[in-house]
């Protein structure tokens, strides 16, 4: 039986006012960090089809560790759950089991995107990445290994998936980037972006609902601070990765577009 401290959402899933006041304050605070990812120059250049080819390929290669490992982060969190112990844990169990397969499919789509973009696939798969690009995947692994289910899901399923859905939608808001790919491979090359831009926007909200169900209506300040810090830290590591690529771009990004590419 639910007690007076148990959270049960009654309003729309994707409306922040459907959640307790502490959650709303946390979301508003963390959104400032998320906007620095979503509005990053790299995604502006990608959307406008003027991201230089070397930076474009480096981003796809450097983003691979998190894409490849994301199902593993979720599996690590699944191991923390015992069925029937808590309504929030049961919600998390269903969410994680359902989405692990989805994330594996997303890894396939990223692989296709990288291939279509001319990325050195053997190098990408071998893990030869710059140290700056590995910090995000290492953070995700650490938080899922060491922290509570709620904190780990906040850092990954809420923070990273939330920002990713928004920047994907931003890139897909115009057709200029998609037109860089030959028509014969365009759909395959764009599938990862299109999927995240269209339906993945519900996933972080589902994660947020689970997080609130896990910690309840009135968590202590230590718990709220831990959740907030995990979310903001994920956004900061995402921005660190993006800053690294733009800082090391080799050509004038404002005038040199990415060339048309196609599957080899």
pTM above 0.85, yes or no: yes
pLDDT per position in the chain (264 positions), as tens?
Answer: 445 578 889 899 999 999 999 999 999 999 999 999 999 999 999 999 999 999 999 999 999 999 999 999 999 999 999 998 899 999 999 999 999 988 889 999 999 999 999 999 999 998 777 777 789 999 999 999 999 999 999 999 999 999 999 999 999 999 999 999 999 999 999 999 999 987 547 889 999 999 999 999 999 999 999 999 999 999 999 999 999 999 876 544 444 445 445 433
Residue with tokens 């989405």: 99
- Domain 20-247: top CATH class: mainly alpha
Q: Using H for helix, E for strand and C for coil, what is the string for the chain?
A: CCCCCCCCCCCCCCCHHHCCHHHHHHHHHHHHHHHHHHCCHHHHHHHCCCCCHHHHHHHHHHHHHHHHHHHHHHHHHHCCCCCCCCHHHHHHHHHHHHHHHHHHHHHHHHHHHHHHCCCCHHHHHHCCCCHHHHHHHHHHHHHHHHCCHHHHHHHHHHHHHHHHHHHHHHHCCCCCCHHHECCCCHHHHHHHHHHHHHCCCHHHHHHHHHHHHHHCCCCCHHHHHHHHHHHHHHHHHHHHHHHHHHHCCCCCCCCCCCCCECCC
For the chain, the structural domain boundaries read 20-247
């Amino acid at each position: 039986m639910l007690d007076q401290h148990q959270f049960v959402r009654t309003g729309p899933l994707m409306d922040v006012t459907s959640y307790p006041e502490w959650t709303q304050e946390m979301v508003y605070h963390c959104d400032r960090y998320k906007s620095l990812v979503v509005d990053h120059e790299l995604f502006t250049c990608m959307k406008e089809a003027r991201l230089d080819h070397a930076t474009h390929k480096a981003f796809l290669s450097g983003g691979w560790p998190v894409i490849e490992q994301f199902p593993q982060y979720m599996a690590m969190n699944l191991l923390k759950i015992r069925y029937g112990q808590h309504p929030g844990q049961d919600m998390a169990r269903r969410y994680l089991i359902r989405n692990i397969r989805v994330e594996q499919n997303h890894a396939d789509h990223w692989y296709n995107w990288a291939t279509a973009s001319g990325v050195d696939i053997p190098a990408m798969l071998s893990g030869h990445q710059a140290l700056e690009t590995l910090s995000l995947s290492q953070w995700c692994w650490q938080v899922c290994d060491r922290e509570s289910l709620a904190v780990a899901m906040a850092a990954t399923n809420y923070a990273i998936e939330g920002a990713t859905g928004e920047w994907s939608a931003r890139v897909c808001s115009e057709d200029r980037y998609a037109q860089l790919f030959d028509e014969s491979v365009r759909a395959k090359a764009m599938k990862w972006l299109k999927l995240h831009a269209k339906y993945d926007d519900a996933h972080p909200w589902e994660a947020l609902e689970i997080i609130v169900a896990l910690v309840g209506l009135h968590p202590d300040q230590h718990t709220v601070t831990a959740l907030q810090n995990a979310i903001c830290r994920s956004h900061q590591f995402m921005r660190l990765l993006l800053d690294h690529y733009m800082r090391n771009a080799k050509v004038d990004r404002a005038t040199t577009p990415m060339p048309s590419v196609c599957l080899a």
